[in-house]
Structure 1
Amino acid sequence: MLKNVVAVVLEELHPFELGVACEVFGLDRSEDGLPAYDFAIAGAHPGPHRTHAGFTVDVPHGPERIAAADLVVVTATTIDRTYPEPLLDALRAAVDGGARVLSICSGAFVLGAAGLLDGRRSTTHWRHTAELAARHPLTEVEPDVLYVDEDPVVTSAGTAAGIDACLHLVRKLQGAEVARGIARRMVVAPHREGGQAQFVYRPLPETDGESLAPLLDWMRHHLGEEATVEQLAARVHMSPRTFARRFHQETGTTPHRWLTGQRLLLAQRLLESTSEPVDTIASRCGFGNAATLRHHFGRRLGTTPLAYRRCFAEPEFRGRSC
């Protein structure tokens, strides 16, 4: 269920990240046939809260408002601070009571302080992933993704990735048509490809040669073909070791992980927009067979290809069972 939504703010809050929660869940779009949410903003205390931009936001509710929520969106704040214990208690109680929590950007540090990231994968803004991992060693930080869904805890990367995470949760709980409708009103993509590594500035040594961009483009157009590190390195006239190092510099990940991510994105698109059998999709995407595709779907997305198709495909393709 997704009806009652609370956005949580702290002092030195970031207005854009609060605005994401307000825009997705705080507007009544019922005239477009979209759900209306019972939306509220809560903080460690009612009253004015400072923003990092220098103005204040009047917050009407304290931590007690969190208890009624189906979803708690923890917005961004400075990470160089302690977090009020009553607020952390309210977050823990919300999850124990069946609510989902979603952090935007540095809001992940609040969830970490509440112990809600322990034993789960997570992410945050790329500038802070190392610090999140250092402070909370019981979470596995994913530095190269836009969001991580470890139900009931969802964490997202910097700023606009919060939109991706919110729309993902809407799509998961209320269907692709609702998510597309909200995205259309917001004039944003209902689903964005790629991860935050593509937004990280990684200066490269001039002596390392030309960019790998042409190779990445070739790989995207040949996802169904086998591609070992040795084969890819040979295409750009590098040793496998130099190629692997250079690939990580440009993409923030390994060739295998990047290729698997691109293949999964293609599989998602085909499941959403075609009636092709899962075995055919697995072959087209370079996974070889449906069992391998199911393995990677479960590991990366926490679901199966058929369950994904039932949730997110165009209506005429949802019943496809093979």
Structure 2
Amino acid sequence: MTLAIGFLVFPGFNILDLTGPLAAFDTVSRDRSPRPYRLEVLSEPGGAVASSCGLPVVTLPLEGRSPDLLLVVGGRGVDRAAAVPQLLAFIRDATAGRVASVCTGAFLLAAAGRLDGRRATTHWRHAATLQRQYPGVRVEMDRIFIKDGPVWSSAGITAGIDLALALIEEDLGVEAARGTARDLVVYHRRPGGQSQFSALLDLEPPSDRIQAALRYVREHLHEALSVDRLAAVAHLSPRQFGRAFLAETGQTPAKAVERLRAEAARPRIEDGIEPIEAIARDVGFSDPERMRRAFLRAFGQPPQALRRGRRAAAA
């Protein structure tokens, strides 16, 4: 059976949000008969649609289209796209068995109500804004991609390839996904639970109070960092602090502390000089097992695997 995939674009979309997943689905379809996927690029009016870099893509109009998978891309024009009622109605009423988004395409899924009560992710730079604008969405900024029932979402830009490979694996099996990754010269498909780029190290929340709390965390990683202690630094009640921190960073305080500790430990783990137990203690993990679980959530690998990988690369 051939599944129809509709890639929904708009003026100002990011070209790689489209071409990355498109290439994955096209690659796995080339030598198979019948082809597992039929690929269509859609837009509200149809015709040529310019990407954010100026490169136009020829599209089909939405009217009469009913893909089995609707994949909404992101890009600079997403705010203008969210103001187009016909586009949101198409996303809202789509009878596709699955809907998905790449990067800020999640904002269009959210605006159409497809993410209400669901877990979702987006580019780390925009995760806090997504959470703030759509409080009914459970935004998880520390994920490459997320599947919540029939709704999938991915982080920014190249994470769309990880999303596509995961969908291929679900449809055609793990060997098809691995073969596609090899053809695309992708080393391997990153697990969905792996964190995005070290977002919290570069994150600048809008309020001075949350900035102060994050700065305090970075300077006191080796100490016990309870919500009460961080709330006092921010001059907020623990309840107010927890709500404000989540709204501005897309993370709970506990997750942020864990991730910052993992990111501080990683270069020391890869250096391969210090004992892992000493590193865990020095960055604030109560024991190596807690650090191992945090590394699995953050990087998809335990500390020992990262250390072996760096040694092998050096050799």
**Residues 133/2 of structure 1: CA separation in 2 closer, same or farther (3 Å cut):** farther
**Residues 260/28 of structure 1: CA separation in 2 closer, same or farther (3 Å cut):** closer
- Secondary structure in structure 2 of the residue aligned to 1:196: coil
Length-normalised TM-score, structure 1: 0.64
Q: Whole-Å Cα distance in 2 between the matches of residues 58 and 111 of structure 1?
A: 23
Q: Cα deviations across residues 176-201 of structure 1 (Å, max 9, x unaligned)?
A: 01111211211113422531043665
Q: Does 1:137 align with 2:135?
A: yes
**Residues 262/143 of structure 1: CA separation in 2 closer, same or farther (3 Å cut):** closer
Q: Whole-Å Cα distance in 2 between the matches of residues 8 and 171 of structure 1?
A: 22
Letter in 1 for 2:92: R
RMSD: 3.7
Letter in 2 for 1:171: E
Q: Does 1:152 align with 2:188?
A: no
Match of 2:124 in 1: 126
Letter in 2 for 1:126: W
Contact 1:2 1:71 in 2 (8 A): no
Match of 1:77 in 2: 75
Structure 1 residue 148, shift from structure 2 partner:
0.6
Q: Cα deviations across residues 44-75 of structure 1 (Å, max 9, x unaligned)?
A: 1112212211232222x1112541x1111111
**Residues 30/260 of structure 1: CA separation in 2 closer, same or farther (3 Å cut):** closer
Match of 1:258 in 2: 294
**Residues 139/75 of structure 1: CA separation in 2 closer, same or farther (3 Å cut):** same
Structure 1 residue 22, shift from structure 2 partner:
2.0
Contact 2:5 2:37 in 1 (8 A): yes
**Following superposition of structure 1 onto structure 2, how do residues 149-298 of structure 1 map, counting pairs within 5 Å?**
149-193=147-191, 194-198=194-198, 201-202=201-202, 211-213=264-266, 235-236=281-282, 240=284, 258-259=294-295, 261=297
- Secondary structure in structure 2 of the residue aligned to 1:52: coil
Structure 1 residue 23, shift from structure 2 partner:
0.5
Contact 1:42 1:65 in 2 (8 A): no
Contact 2:116 2:136 in 1 (8 A): yes
**Residues 49/262 of structure 1: CA separation in 2 closer, same or farther (3 Å cut):** closer
Length-normalised TM-score, structure 2: 0.65
Q: Whole-Å Cα distance in 1 between the matches of residues 130 and 57 of structure 2?
A: 27
Q: Cα deviations across residues 69-119 of structure 1 (Å, max 9, x unaligned)?
A: 11111111224333422222222222xx35211101010011011100101
Q: Whole-Å Cα distance in 2 between the matches of residues 76 and 177 of structure 1?
A: 29
Q: Whole-Å Cα distance in 2 between the matches of residues 34 and 257 of structure 1?
A: 43
Contact 2:119 2:137 in 1 (8 A): yes
**Residues 189/54 of structure 1: CA separation in 2 closer, same or farther (3 Å cut):** same
**Following superposition of structure 1 onto structure 2, how do residues 300-311 of structure 1 map, counting pairs within 5 Å?**
none
Q: Whole-Å Cα distance in 2 between the matches of residues 145 and 126 of structure 1?
A: 9
Match of 1:42 in 2: 42
In the comparison of the two structures, how many residue pairs are matched?
Answer: 242
Out of 99, 103, 106, which is 2:101 matched to? 103
Q: Whole-Å Cα distance in 2 between the matches of residues 35 and 153 of structure 1?
A: 24
**Residues 114/152 of structure 1: CA separation in 2 closer, same or farther (3 Å cut):** same
Contact 1:34 1:181 in 2 (8 A): no
Q: Whole-Å Cα distance in 1 between the matches of residues 52 and 298 of structure 2?
A: 37
Gaps of 5+ in 2: 204-213, 223-263, 306-315
Q: Cα deviations across residues 137-188 of structure 1 (Å, max 9, x unaligned)?
A: 1011001110010121100001011100110111112210111121121111
Q: Whole-Å Cα distance in 2 between the matches of residues 66 and 256 of structure 1?
A: 47
Q: Once the two structures are aligned, what percentage of the paired residues are identical?
A: 31
Match of 1:23 in 2: 23
Letter in 1 for 2:111: A
After superposing the two structures, state which structure 1 stretch, 151-160 or 45-54, moved more.
45-54
Structure 1 residue 6, shift from structure 2 partner:
0.9
Structure 1 residue 217, shift from structure 2 partner:
5.3
Higher relative contact order (CA 8 A, sep 6+): 2
Q: Whole-Å Cα distance in 1 between the matches of residues 123 and 29 of structure 2?
A: 30
Gaps of 5+ in 1: 245-253, 270-322
